[in-house]
Amino acid sequence: MPAVHEIYDEAIRLKDAGNLEGAVAKLQEVLAIDPLHTDTHSALAVYNQRLGKFDEAIEHARKVVEILPDEAFSYTQLSVIYMRCGKIFEAEEAKARAHAMGHGH
């Protein structure tokens, strides 16, 4: 059985080859092994957004925030995903949270 990092790397190769749907499927394999793999959730947020699967994109971006609530970058990515999915109010809220965290507030 391949290790999580090997499956993840294969997903990145698929993405680099232009096969986003294949990459998403491969990343789902990673989550079946390690449901808290934050790099996978981050990648799935981006890839699903690019595929127009906005609900899935937001779900994965929110999962990163859930797993890493003290990381400003989690909220920054969530803000970007919200913005790209057309949810401007939610994007601004996440951006403000990231900004506050980045300044130690």
Out of 3.40.50.2300, 3.30.70.2740, 1.25.40.10, 1.10.3720.10, the CATH code matching 4-102 is 1.25.40.10
The pLDDT assigned to 49 comes to 97
Phi first, then psi: give them for residue 48, nearest 5 degrees.
-65, -40
The pLDDT assigned to 2 comes to 82
Q: Are 58 and 77 in contact (CB under 8 A)?
A: no
pLDDT digits (tens, 9 = 90+) for 48-75: 999 999 999 999 999 999 999 999 999 9
Q: Are 90 and 82 in contact (CB under 8 A)?
A: yes
Q: Which residue ranges of the chain lie beneath pLDDT 70?
A: 1, 103-105
The pLDDT assigned to 103 comes to 63
